[in-house]
Amino acid sequence: MDFLHDTNLAELSEIANMYVIPDFVKSEAVPEKTASAELPETAFAWPAEKLFPVTSKAHTWLSVAYLDKHASNIGKDEKEHILDNLAVSMKFWGITTDDFQTMMHKKASETTKGFPLHYRFCGSTHATVHVNSAEEIDKVASSLVESRTEMPWLMRADVALQALNAASSIGCDLQDSTKQSLQKTAGFCIASSKKLTQDLLYREALYANHGREDLVEKVASLRSEYANKESILPLEFQKIASVLDSLDRFVSLHGTYSPAFAAPEDIGHAVPLCTMQSAHNDIVKLADGSQVSRRKLMDKSLSLRFALGKVASKKIEDVDIITTLQALPAVVSQEVLKQVGI
């Protein structure tokens, strides 16, 4: 409940994320729990339980912060007694309300700057930008695509995920194209296992041309792992994209991406989840009797089937409509057939 009983200082980490911790707290080491056993009851704001130490300015500040976090778990009378003792200790150590106003208003000050997006890699933050609107998030999405050569995929994926969370926190509606771009960069995609196999075979040939049989073996192993799957799900897709990005950079091929040599987030004809949902919604609308053109139906259902590895082509003329509709639930298929006059 207080910092002496905070195992591995897990709660202190939460407090550090929530509040601005004064320098006088940062500069003092947290004492061992065993050391507190020798202290008298008067060294604590809750003497009966030997909780919330007030033996220094830093300890008093921390006790106030921990009490604020656990106040709902303490009875009214006990809490009033603790607060009275803390008030006396604050006055003794010269802690003012300003110390806690700084702490409590951190989130408000961050809001005026915007939602922070941290560009992190290998445990270090290389840059931070702030976004406050859909337009600013759109610029971030575009920059992540443009910087795929310079910026590792793991970093771009992390920023894309933060941008999606920022949009939710700010409460702004992103354009479909922006949402699709961010989801694709973050690896929230479903991919075709057949197309993935083709992309991996192409990579094996490129690595072999560079004399890197060790990398060829890694990609061949990856191809074998996913060869028998009907489709590649988001967590699997993210793992594959991360591995391929590392290998591409290792042999300096990350600047040569093309339609034939797919970038990590494009492998397997990756389709963002929001695109899949949109396709599904349109098909359901059609089944409900809404006006959706036959051409649009075909485009949507084929995209879904291609992503799921059900067909080898996305061209309408290459796939019969009856075959395409077989991928849909039976009831929906019947209704769709009626709507398109079949």
Give residue-wise pLDDT tens across range 114-131: 788 999 887 788 888 899
State whether residue 324 is helix, strand or coil. helix
What is the distance between the alpha carbons of residues 158 and 120, in angstroms, rounded to a whole number?
8
What is the distance between the alpha carbons of residues 192 and 198, in angstroms, rounded to a whole number?
10
H or E element at residue 185: helix 176-186
What is the distance between the alpha carbons of residues 45 and 223, in angstroms, rounded to a whole number?
62
189, 219, 191: which is closest to 308 by C-alpha? Answer: 191
Identify the pLDDT of residue 194.
84
Least confident of 53-57, 96-100, 136-140: 96-100
* Triad 40, 44, 45: Cα angle to 5°: 150
- pLDDT at residue 312 is higher than 60: no
Tell me the average pLDDT across 306-327. 42
- Considering only residues 342 and 291, tell me which one the structure prediction assigns the higher pLDDT: 291
pLDDT band at 317 (very low <50, low <70, confident <90, very high): very low
Give residue limits of the domains in the chain: 3-104, 114-186, 189-266, 273-339
pLDDT band at 107 (very low <50, low <70, confident <90, very high): very low
For the chain, what is the mean pLDDT? 77
Identify the pLDDT of residue 8.
67
pTM above 0.85, yes or no: no
Identify the pLDDT of residue 70.
83
Confirm if 20 and 106 have CB atoms less than 8 A apart.
yes
What is the distance between the alpha carbons of residues 99 and 15, in angstroms, rounded to a whole number?
14
Residue with tokens 């959706």: 292
What is the distance between the alpha carbons of residues 54 and 60, in angstroms, rounded to a whole number?
4
